Amino acid sequence: MDRPLDAFSAMPAAGPLSEHGAALVYLGDDRAALQSVLMLQEFGLTVDVVNDASSALTWATHAHYSLLICGGDFSHHLFAYRARLAAPQTQVLLMSRFPARASLREAGVELFPLPLQVNALASKLAAIVG
């Protein structure tokens, strides 16, 4: 994703990049990120990966993603909440070792508990993306 973020200021939100939709992955855990990307691609989604919160929030609000997967340390809870409010059309799945606060659940953020269990993640993603 090497387009400058300034380019978004003049761009309207785009449609999904594939007929199955698109997903954005922002995870602090490389293993979880790789597993998520591979599974999402198996479900036929176009997948973008970002490495920082600012880029993730910018992409989530200016592109049409059907799903955003985020997680890592406790700061990702705040990020998930902000992303859900900024991009209400996008489902947000938060991978975390910490329990979700009521405000996250009320905003519609789904929680996936870590440590990562591949079969459980596959089932969760199947339920979300169909």
Q: Structural domain tally of the chain?
A: 1
57, part of any domain: yes
Instruction: Give the DSSP H or E segment for 69.
Output: strand 67-71
Q: How confident is the model at residue 34 (pLDDT cuts 50, 70, 90)?
A: very high
12, part of any domain: no
> Per the omega criterion (within 30 degrees of 0), is the bond before 115 cis?
yes
Instruction: Give the DSSP H or E segment for 27.
Output: strand 22-27
Cα(86)–Cα(108) distance, integer angstroms: 12
The domain spanning residue 77 has which CATH number?
Answer: 3.40.50.2300
72, part of any domain: yes
1, part of any domain: no
pTM: 0.83
pLDDT score recorded for residue 10: 40
- Mean per-residue pLDDT for 83-90? 93
Q: How confident is the model at residue 73 (pLDDT cuts 50, 70, 90)?
A: confident
44, part of any domain: yes
Full domain range(s) for residue 22: 18-129
Cα(12)–Cα(3) distance, integer angstroms: 15
22, part of any domain: yes
7, part of any domain: no
User: In the chain, what percentage of residues exceed pLDDT 90?
Assistant: 64
Q: Mean pLDDT score of the chain, rounded to an integer? A: 85
